[in-house]
Amino acid sequence: MSDVSAASLSAMYQETLLAHHRAPLNRRAIANATHTGSRKNPLCGDALQVAVRFDGDSIADAAFTGQGCSIATASASMMTEVLRGRTRDQALALVDEVESMLTGGTAAPNLPFGLEALRGVAPFPGRHGCATMSWLALRDALHTRS
Amino acid sequence: MTVLSALAPRADFPLLAANPSLHYLDSAATSQKPRAVLDALVGFYETSNANPHRGAYALSAAATDAFHNARVTVARFLGVADSDCLIYTRGTTESVNLVAATWGATNVRVGDEIVVTALEHHANFVTWQQLAKRTGATLRIVELTAHQEIDLDQLRDVVGPRTKLVAITHVSNAVGAITPLDTVVEIVRAQSNAVLFVDGAQGAPHLPVAFDTMGADFYAFSGHKMLGPMGIGGLIGKRALLEAMPPFLFGGDMIEWVYDFDSTWNVLPHKFEAGTPNAADAVGLAAGVRYLEALDMTAVRAHEVALLEAAEARLRDLTACTVYGPPPSRRSGVISFSLDDVHPHDLATILDQHGVCVRAGHHCAQPLMRRLGVSSTARASFYVYSEQSDVDALCSALVSAQTMFAAA
């Protein structure tokens, strides 16, 4: 019934996403985090917490904790990798980009290479919330302080 | 191995007929509709559409008759001789809320106890939880056995003279466990003067229901889970209780006399059916009920048991797969399970690619999920149109999912 092909499925679950799911990067706590945020998905009970430490204007460290499905975990893992060195404004712009690529269906030509695998989630609207969970937690974090 | 064919031919169900490679295993969420139901629904609008009760012309009489006959049909199917005691609502959720807002508001107070179970769907849990909060009554929660069935010994301990209401599911939507209602009735009647409310959302579609001999005070059901349209269901209640309850919604049809500063109420069932009724969907539901009557509910049950046995055997054969709930003889057509290495969300997506529709999530049973120690499970549910190929597709898709997610 689904008009998304098996090729799309394997695109989404391509090795990158699966690799991030099996061995997520930066799944740990951060001592001296300057910003923290969290998100829960009431439909499945998944919950992720995001922590960021700024050094001056730029992000020195980013990490996540919590339980999620493979898409949520992989997205959080990829996110924490690409955040390093970015300013607050750059990080927030990246959240907007990811969100609009997934839920808004935009082309997102400037998506960092480390997030390319997230494009595979775009044809699966039911999974957009999984992919954006860590990003929305990041947005919350950057708008408040720990 | 005998190949299990569908009890109700897929050809009778337009959506299934148009999608031969679809394996719809989410009937617990909503059932597919036979052509007969769709024809009855459209037929009402094409031949008998008018506002029931209100007109003095022949077409209105036709609408009134269609609406009344539909009620009588559904009442007969559910073993209610007094069809005025079958109140139409939007479904089980609204039925629960109706009783809480009317019977509950006028009968429950501080010091009283409301008994629910850890198996309940949010509709039959949150509603009573909030009634307890509003009134100052105490909520008591009966826990579960190792197979996620209601612990009847605990029920015996909990029910007593302070118990005002026992709210219990006929069949669990999450794990399929069938509640032995005769034992529950015995306990409640022997040990208290409590009112017994039964959530029949998953009961009425899958098991023979005989309200008049059941011994419960209220029984709620949803039409869309039993081949009927969405937006129609019912509350069955004992006449004495319904007559003593204040109205739920106010407006047209439910009144007798309207003075400037007070009003009097119409008789049953109208007292609880304010406004223009959902006559078309009621007629559609009656057609669904006639379809089930033609299949015979004993045959429906036997068909589901056969499918469950086939499915459960293969699921239990899978490594790293946990199946929740009791054995097939004590469960209805619902299987909840989880795979160790595959999150239910991921599982549902992969199954979707194989044309298999299952539900992943908490199934509106967060208290149950907590007790299972999981945040969500995958749930496959069978119904009259399910067949061997659905079981096969489910199981081979599960193997694919496991392969894809196997630890590197």
- B353 vs A9, A44, A67: nearest CB: A9
What is the spatial order of strands in the sheet that B86-89 belongs to? Answer: B86-89, B233-237, B218-222, B195-199, B163-169, B113-117, B138-142
- Supply the mean pLDDT for chain B: 96
Cβ distance A43 to B407 less than 8 Å, yes or no, reads no
Identify the CATH number of the domain defined by range A6-143: 3.90.1010.10
Mean per-residue pLDDT, B314-326: 91
Same fold, B10-32+296-405 and B38-293: no
Higher pLDDT, A115 or A9: A115
Q: Is the pLDDT of residue B1 over 60?
A: no
Q: Give me chain A's average pLDDT, please.
A: 90
pLDDT per residue over A41-99, tens digit each? Answer: 877 888 999 999 999 999 999 999 998 999 999 999 999 999 999 999 999 999 999 99
Nearest CA in chain B to A68: B343
Give catalytic residue positions of B.
Answer: 364
pLDDT of residue B337: 94
Q: Is B106 on the interface with A (CB under 8 A)?
A: no
Interface test with B, best of A69, A75, A127 (most B CBs within 10 A): A69
Give the residue among B245, B217, B197 at the shortest CA–CA distance from B92: B197
- What pLDDT does residue B343 have? 92
Q: What is the reported pLDDT for A1? A: 42
Among the ranges given (B104-108, B160-164, B292-296, B330-334), the one the predictor scored with the smallest mean pLDDT: B330-334
Superfamily per CATH, domain B10-32+296-405? Aspartate Aminotransferase, domain 1 (3.90.1150.10)
Domain boundaries, chain A: 6-143
The widest CA-to-CA distance across chain A, in whole angstroms, is 52
Can you give the pLDDT at residue A105? Answer: 87
pLDDT of residue B316: 86
CB A128 within 8 A of CB A136: no
Tens digits of residue pLDDT in B255-268: 999 999 999 999 99
Per-domain residue ranges for chain B? 10-32+296-405, 38-293
> B360 to chain A: nearest residue by CA?
A44
Question: What is the per-residue pLDDT across B12-21, written as a single tens digit (0 to 9) for each?
Answer: 999 999 999 9
Q: Which CATH number fits the domain B38-293, given the four candidates 3.30.300.160, 3.40.50.460, 3.40.640.10, 3.60.130.10?
A: 3.40.640.10
C-alpha B236/C-alpha B216 separation (Å) is 10
Its pTM stands at 0.93
Q: What angle do CA A18, A132, A61 make, to 5 degrees?
A: 80
Of residues B218 and A104, more confidence is placed in B218
Query: With contacts defined as CB-CB under 8 Å, which chain A residues touch B346?
Result: 69-71
Q: How far apart are CA A63 and CA A48, in angstroms?
A: 10
d(CA B196, CA B183): 12
